[in-house]
A and B are shown apart, each in its own frame.
Chain A
Amino acid sequence: MTDVVIAGIGQTEVGEHWEISLRDLALDAIQDALKDSGGLKPQALFVGNMLAPNLSNQAHLGALITDYAGLTGIEAITVEAAGASGGAALRQGYLAIASGMVDVALIVGIEKFTDKIGADVDEALATASDSDFEAVQGMTPASQAALLMKRYMHENDVPANGFAGFALTAHANGVANKYAMFRKAIKPETYAKAEMVSDPLNMFDIAPNADGAAALLLTRRDLLPRDYKHPLVKIAGSAASSDTLALHDRKDMLYFDTAQISAGKAMKQVGIVLDQINFFEYHDAFSIYAALQLEAVGFAIKGKGWKLAADNAIGLKGKIPCATMGGMKARGFAGGAAGVYQAVEAAIQLRGSAGANQIAGAKFGLIQSLGGPASTAVSHIIQALD
């Protein structure tokens, strides 16, 4: 099989883009990716989106976006897997290219949160959970993460502020990322004083929901333009896994099975072990998710994921750098675009163009996109080829 390469990347700044529509935001990222690729022409579009039908009363994004981007005629669909929509769309694009059925695939992750505000956004987000048995109880993703964090702290004797390291790392890494929503480092005192959202979860344990779009162009290595100008980056491994939709149905809710299964499969495809992974873009929509992913993937033993953050082992110079461009906490959580942002950022790292945030000599990056509390996980290993 020839290598599936990330030929072009594009992203918009994540933020509250009151003046920019869903279609315009998607177009921005797409135009950047097309230009970055050196003029490749996509044959298929895979849209990663989570909530446009709820937040913008807009479904059928495939046709909407190809139409608006002047790409009518090509095939186009939306891929939805809650917060993992971006990772899932990337995987569909990867499969299309790897199979040989499509030569150039465009993936765009797009989320337009600010078409609604407040309780309406919380209601929309809750549709990712079990509507009949979770959301009906007034449960939201944030309160569910709080439940998970409460139980985790109870079982593992985590001190108050034990999770601070995740936000500190993310915000430190967001400073040099011009696409990040928050570009200011925070102090431990800032975390400790932060307003409680759903005890023990405070506002720094939650990534901000915000508008954003990110895009990728995938192709096979032999189809790249002759004068292709970037260092080559390929998708070396790709896997996805699903678990019970409702958190309460898990045998052990403090172990993210899907994170383990998908990352393990992806690593096996590449033939690498954990020590060879140079950075990890986890799905830090909530700090507890980040801790549980570090454990499930194997970077920490069960119950000790928070310690990696507390000991700063996840910083840019740490044992396993995470959220290297700010993660969801500082770059911002753009819903169905989140997994595509991860891939764009991994490509930047592996091209060696991450500037102040560069992981020296990075060869392999693991990116992991979660839907709900890891009811879906999609893992990709991105590799620098030369």
Chain B
Amino acid sequence: MEIPRHWRLKKQRYGLVGEVCPHCDHKIFPPRDVCPNCGDEAKEQFAFSGKGEVYSYTTVYEAPAGYEANAPYTVAIVKLDEGPMLTAQLTDVDNSEVQIGMQVEMVTRKMRNDGDERGLIVYGYKFRPFRLEPH
């Protein structure tokens, strides 16, 4: 049970809010206040489009505690259209259909169930295949 911790991250988890460096225009996710590109201070918020492509992926069969109910699931490194990469589960897709370079978009999903009697459910971003027609 880590309520304050998850609450603190709500902008990132639900809105993919990172930063843009005012000095070099580098887009940053997750926010880190020091630009990894130029080293200057970067505190300006920037909401990412949530579009990107799969850089690499794999399917997890032996899940860590809290994730067993979801297994098997596919985790990926997604390269966002604006530049940065992030780690995320893929959803709404058959694990065998995933490919490097596949276009994906962010959605909000249940991440894990902390499972104690107070039942905290952590929501956050996952990515699904991007299609022009509505899902």
> Contact between B68 and A151 (Cβ–Cβ < 8 Å)?
no
Pick the contact of B56 from A120, A136, A148, A246 — CB < 8 Å?
Answer: A148
The answer to whether the Cβ of B34 comes within 8 Å of any Cβ in the partner chain is no
Interface members, chain B 54-70 (any A CB < 8 Å): 55-68, 70
> Contact between A119 and B58 (Cβ–Cβ < 8 Å)?
no
A146 to B82, CA, bound (A): 25
Which size class do B's interface residues fall under?
A: 35 or more
Q: Determine the chain B residues whose CB is within 8 A of the CB of A140 once the complex forms.
A: 60, 62-64
The answer to whether the Cβ of B102 comes within 8 Å of any Cβ in the partner chain is no
> Contact between B58 and A199 (Cβ–Cβ < 8 Å)?
yes
Smallest CB separation, B76 vs chain A (Å)? 7
The answer to whether the Cβ of A228 comes within 8 Å of any Cβ in the partner chain is no
Pick the contact of A199 from B5, B55, B59, B67 — CB < 8 Å?
Answer: B59
Nearest chain-A residue to B32 (Cβ)? A249
The answer to whether the Cβ of A139 comes within 8 Å of any Cβ in the partner chain is yes
A201 to B84, CA, bound (A): 26
CB-CB under 8 A for A133 and B68, given A143-B58, A151-B55: no
A139 to B75, CA, bound (A): 7
Which size class do A's interface residues fall under?
A: 35 or more
The answer to whether the Cβ of B112 comes within 8 Å of any Cβ in the partner chain is yes
> Contact between A136 and B57 (Cβ–Cβ < 8 Å)?
no
A335 to B111, CA, bound (A): 28
The answer to whether the Cβ of A57 comes within 8 Å of any Cβ in the partner chain is no
The answer to whether the Cβ of A132 comes within 8 Å of any Cβ in the partner chain is yes
> Contact between A139 and B59 (Cβ–Cβ < 8 Å)?
no
Q: Determine the chain A residues whose CB is within 8 A of the CB of B36 once the complex forms.
A: 244, 249
Pick the contact of B30 from A120, A132, A150 — CB < 8 Å?
Answer: A132
The answer to whether the Cβ of B86 comes within 8 Å of any Cβ in the partner chain is yes
The answer to whether the Cβ of A226 comes within 8 Å of any Cβ in the partner chain is no
The answer to whether the Cβ of B47 comes within 8 Å of any Cβ in the partner chain is no
CB-CB under 8 A for A138 and B59, given A132-B9, A249-B85: no
Which residues of A are in contact with B by a Cβ distance under 8 Å?
A: 118-120, 122-123, 125-126, 130, 132-140, 142-143, 146-148, 150-151, 154, 197-201, 244, 246-249, 253
14 further contact pairs, Cβ within 8 A, besides A126-B64, A134-B87, A138-B111: A119-B62, A119-B63, A119-B64, A122-B63, A123-B66, A133-B87, A136-B112, A137-B88, A138-B67, A139-B60, A147-B56, A147-B76, A246-B87, A247-B87
